[in-house]
Amino acid sequence: MFLKMLLGALARQKRKHLMIAFTVGLGVSLATAMLGVMFDVGDKVNQELKSYGANLNVIPKGASMLGEMYQLGGDEGGGPALSELESDFIREDELYKIKMIFWAYNIVDFAPFLTLGVEAGGRQVPLTGTWFDRHLSLPTGDEVDTGMTAMRSWWVLEGRPGDEADPGGVLVGRELADALGLAVGQTLEARAPGGRAATLRVRAVFESGGDDDRGIFAPLPLVQDLAGRPGLVQRVEVSALTTPENELARRAAQNPGSLTRIEWDTWYCTAYISSIAYQIEEILPGVRVKPVLRVAQSEGAILSKTQLMIILLTLLTLLCSSLAISNLVTANIMERSVEIGLLKALGATGLSISLLVLSEILLAAFGGGVAGYLVGLGLAQFIGLSVFGSTVAVKAVVIPIGALMVLAVTLLGSLPALRALLGLRPTEVLHGR
Amino acid sequence: MGSNRSFALRMVLWSLLRRRSRLLVALTGVTIGATVLLGLVTLCYDIPRQLGREFRSYGANMVFVKDVVGGRLGREDLEAIRRGLSGDSLVGLTPFRYEPVRNNMLPYTAVGTSFADVRLTSPFWQVGGEWPSAPGQILLGADVAEATRIQNGQRMAIDGRNGRQERYEKDFTVVGTVRTGGVEDGLIYMAMADMEEMTREPGLADLAEASLASGGTGLAGLEARVRAAAPSVEPRLVTRVTRSEETVLAKLTWLVYLVTLVVLSLTMICVTTTMMTVVMERRREIGLKKALGAENGRVAREFLAEGLMLGILGGLIGSFCGLLFARLVSYSVFGRGLTPELHLVPITVLASALVTIVASLWPVRKAVDVEPALVLKGE
């Protein structure tokens, strides 16, 4: 009897139920899309912020940044003289280990650098050797492509990008190229202090907007040969995806020894910049890893702000779609006053009437919710693809949140109206107004 | 008799309650729509600007040097630059002066600057200890502090030669260490006044950094203004910062716009369906009115007038809630208030009225078209 009435009602009052299904569907699709974007926006924005370059500097323990060039400092020298001590260098053949730390998958790119002052075109010029785009096969079986090209996204190149397969091809800074009258395709002679010399061919002229514009970037083996330091590099820049710092991370950065066992585990297993730095120091002996705070801190600030913003927007959306759904359900039930009065007059109990009405509404809501979920998935992908150019990974947790929301909201919307109607005598209702 | 009176009373009350709750449902629907509309559109205006300010944490995006190699910026140059940049977008302008100095015969580079401005242009500096606040106080880069083993609170003697080759020497108190992971770690920072007093050469800076909350064309305009105000100064964009900011900010802004678009359109549809349900419920009333001789146009006009009033009222309440919401987001995310775009309020009210009318139009037309007898008989 109950089932028959339920099915009958669903079939006869198609329009009303469709309306409920439609509104619930809209609400759920909104919720799904927003929650999907909310859970994934951190990773996406983090990836985008990688365009600011490396956030970790790996240097040998003995060395410090004192020898680094000053930004626009006006020194005309061709870079500092190379140290004689092997402990002032990092071994190139150990660098693959950076991709084998606990947070290996968060290491987006890394590139080694070796800078040598050479004489080229009659003046002292800093010549920097690096990996442009190196392919590495790790002992773990993973294949990795890494190098400087991706870490200098702000460079404007005129010519072809650096290539590992072209051992004599170099990138020349705009200022230097203008001063020496160099153009793409030309060659120049570079003489190192030790008397070694090499012929460089200009693959591209780049504009970085910084000091690099006065230097030359070449494949690493070429510079190692000129410097007589085979297999050695001076420093490594690492670009890693990190979690914004919190109190724990700040304490750990000061002194990892001050943490309790549990705190230490939490810190070690979270992608804080300090824990990634610590792990690289663990795996590469004799190095010091310094977070580049300009990049690391800004990343944290922007990331947490963006996430908070999206969370608040999502909450607003959830609230509004909940209100809209319960509003509609209230309207729907109020419309049924005559029907409910008639049922009561025919002797139905309050419970059975409530059950009947609620199952009707919930069934319609369920149908709408499933459709809305699918539409929401599509919307989330649409947002992800058009903003970030990659799909949004919608977490499974969105489904229970959406289902709970629909259930709670539908019940909350139905019950007060139902109670009000059930409290009335059939005569009053059937009488009309 | 008592039961009869109470029956009549309940009838009246019920009718009022019914009408009121129906009104309330409709009003809630319209208010939600207006809240979302105004709140999101206000945020859309505001968020790109606010996020742009957040990006200033990456530090300076324009650098000024003298147009001759090795030249220095004088005090009047700095003032001219500040004049050229003056406006809302200037977050900070910091001069830097580099001098080779010695401590215990070992070479270092001392930097004269303005600490109040550095805190604005380079918010990423991590200072252990205190910022210098009195004359004779300095900050050591973390690497310098490590190499010299000088602790906070200890004294440090610095000597060197000025441009006229006169020897100078001065005692400083180290009050803090600065850590950035970059070149700053290897420098010694002092106030510009201390630097001038120590070297006996006033008013010179090697370069000045400006942090400007502005993007591509805005920066180009500021650059041109500085060139006009200080012809001997060469402004340079820090492309690393500006170009990355442009790409990332564009994506974030686009994200906000898209989310707004999706949320807004879906919410409007939601409001429409609610209004439809509420109006559909009144088909009997329409039928009755028609049976009593009301013309179609008259009935429709009545409903439209009702919709208009609902839209205006809901729009006003929603505008208020929307502004409140936008303020809340702005405060809790960016820690800053926002200027309410009041011209959006009439637009919101208008849009709400429009949505309400459009939503009522369809069911009213359907009800009006139907024979009154059919409607009154029920379904």
Are B287 and B222 in a shared domain? no
Kindly give the parts of chain A with pLDDT less than 70: 1, 10-12, 62-84, 428-433
Residue B379 has pLDDT above 60, yes or no: no
Cα–Cα distance for residue pair B39/A359, rounded to 1 Å: 36
Strand partners, B97: B112
Question: Is residue B253 a part of any domain in this protein?
Answer: yes
Structure tokens of A405? 């929301």
Are B143 and B223 in a shared domain? yes
Which of B189, B252, B325 best tests the A interface by mutation, with the highest count of A CBs <10 A? B252
Are B46 and B116 in a shared domain? no
Question: Is residue B223 a part of any domain in this protein?
Answer: yes
Are B175 and B260 in a shared domain? no
Cα–Cα distance for residue pair A148/A162, rounded to 1 Å: 9
Are B79 and B125 in a shared domain? yes
Strand partners, A145: A135
Residue whose entry in the numeric block shows the structure tokens 């945020």: B43
Q: Which of A5-9, B37-41, B214-218 has the lowest mean pLDDT?
A: A5-9
List, for residues B156-177, the tens digit of each pLDDT value: 888 888 878 888 888 999 999 9
* b/e per residue A293-325 (b: at least 16 CB within 10 A): bbbbbbbbbbbbbbbebbbbbbebbbebbbbbb
Are B219 and B76 in a shared domain? yes
What is the DSSP secondary-structure string of A174-208? Answer: HHHHHHHT--TT-EEEEE-TTS-EEEEEEEEEEE-
Are B88 and B226 in a shared domain? yes
B96 or B19, higher pLDDT:
B96
ipTM of the complex: 0.77
What is the DSSP secondary-structure string of B361-377? Answer: HHHHHHHHHS-HHHHHH
Task: Taking residues B323-346, report their average pLDDT.
Answer: 84
List, for residues A145-186, the tens digit of each pLDDT value: 888 888 888 888 888 888 888 888 899 998 889 888 888 888
Question: Is residue B211 a part of any domain in this protein?
Answer: yes
Q: Residue B379's closest chain A neighbor by CA?
A: A13
Cα–Cα distance for residue pair A212/A208, rounded to 1 Å: 6
B-chain residues within 8 Å CB-CB of A432? 284
CA distance A141 to chain B (A): 33
B4 touches chain A (CB under 8 A): no
- Of B237, B268, B302, the position where a domain reaches its end is B237
Tell me, what DSSP letter sits at residue B164?
T
Q: Residue B70's closest chain A neighbor by CA?
A: A74
Are B348 and B228 in a shared domain? no
Residues 6+ apart with CB under 8 A from B198: B158, B168, B170, B190
Are B109 and B170 in a shared domain? yes
Are B73 and B152 in a shared domain? yes
**Residue B369 — very low, low, confident or very high, per pLDDT cuts 50/70/90?**
confident
Residue B275 has pLDDT above 80, yes or no: no
A:370-389 residues touching chain B, CB 8 A cutoff:
379, 383, 386-388
- Contact indicator for B226, B64 with CB cutoff of 8 Å: yes
Cα–Cα distances (Å) from B41 to B29, B218, B238, B256, in that order, read 18, 23, 32, 10
Q: Which of A405, A401, A421 has its CA nearest to residue A330?
A: A421
Q: Which of A59-63, A109-113, B2-6, B253-257 has the lowest mean pLDDT?
A: B2-6
From A71, A317, A387, residue closest to B251, measured CB to CB: A387
Cβ contact, residue pair B244, A72, below 8 Å: no
- Of B206, B237, B268, the position where a domain reaches its end is B237
Cα–Cα distance for residue pair A92/A72, rounded to 1 Å: 29
Cα–Cα distance for residue pair A265/A268, rounded to 1 Å: 5
Q: Which of B44, B103, B6 has its CA nearest to residue B344?
A: B44
Cβ contact, residue pair A305, B54, below 8 Å: yes
Question: Is residue B8 a part of any domain in this protein?
Answer: no
- Of B237, B261, B286, the position where a domain reaches its end is B237
Residue B18 has pLDDT above 70, yes or no: no
List, for residues B44-99, the tens digit of each pLDDT value: 888 888 888 888 888 888 888 888 777 788 888 888 888 888 887 888 899 999 88
Amino acid at B242: T
Are B192 and B256 in a shared domain? no
Question: Is residue B196 a part of any domain in this protein?
Answer: yes
Structure tokens of B262? 């999706």
Task: Name the residue range of residue B354's domain.
Answer: 21-53+248-377
Q: Residue A338's closest chain B neighbor by CA?
A: B378
Predicted pLDDT of residue B9 = 64
CA distance B299 to chain A (A): 20
Provide the domain count of chain B: 2
Helix B344-369 to helix B283-291 angle (10° resolution) is 60
What is the DSSP secondary-structure string of A217-239? Answer: EEEHHHHHHHHT-TTEESEEEEE
CA distance B128 to chain A (A): 10
Are B205 and B135 in a shared domain? yes
- Taking all residues of chain B, what is their mean pLDDT, rounded to a whole number? 83
Question: Is residue B16 a part of any domain in this protein?
Answer: no
B:277-336 residues touching chain A, CB 8 A cutoff:
277-278, 280-281, 284, 325, 328-329, 332-334
Cα–Cα distance for residue pair B197/B97, rounded to 1 Å: 13
A-chain residues within 8 Å CB-CB of B352? none
